[in-house]
């Protein structure tokens, strides 16, 4: 009824061996459960990352569109300002201001 435990080179009863075996099986089962939980967590995090990357991409596209729109609006504003300054009455007022400041 005794078996040799080669790890400690001593004699161990069959009951003790059975208890150790059950303990190791519980540890293995607990470890497997922990691994499964970690795998689920990793999958969840990966899905969240994928969703965040998609949102980031969408926001970057919106930013590009808005930047382009701002550039177009600035260009329109500058063109309107140039057009206003090019009117005959504005040219005359500029001549007057120039002649006033130059002493002519």
Does the pLDDT at position 83 exceed 70?
A: yes
Strand partners, 3: 12
Contact 14, 3 (CB under 8 A): yes
> Considering only CA atoms, which of 2, 22, 21 is closest in space to residue 12?
2
**Spatial distance between the Cα atoms of 104 and 102, rounded to a whole number of angstroms:** 6
Q: What are 35's two structure tokens?
A: 């691994």
Does the pLDDT at position 47 exceed 90?
A: yes
Intra-chain end-to-end CA distance of the chain, in Å:
127
pLDDT of residue 93: 60
Q: Judge if pTM exceeds 0.75.
A: no
**Spatial distance between the Cα atoms of 90 and 5, rounded to a whole number of angstroms:** 106
Average pLDDT over residues 71-78: 95
Does the pLDDT at position 98 exceed 90?
A: no
pLDDT of residue 100: 54
Does the pLDDT at position 10 exceed 60?
A: no
Lowest mean pLDDT among 37-41, 69-73, 83-87, 95-99: 95-99
């Amino acid at each position: 009824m005794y078996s040799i435990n080669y790890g400690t080179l001593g004699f161990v009863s069959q009951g003790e061996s059975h208890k150790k075996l059950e303990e190791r099986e519980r540890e293995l089962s607990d470890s497997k459960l922990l691994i499964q939980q970690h795998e689920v967590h990793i999958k969840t995090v990966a899905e969240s990352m994928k969703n965040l990357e998609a949102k980031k991409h969408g926001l970057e596209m919106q930013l590009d569109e808005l930047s382009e729109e701002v550039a177009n609006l600035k260009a329109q504003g500058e063109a309107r300002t140039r057009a206003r300054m090019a009117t005959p009455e504005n040219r005359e007022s500029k001549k007057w201001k120039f002649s006033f400041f130059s002493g002519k």
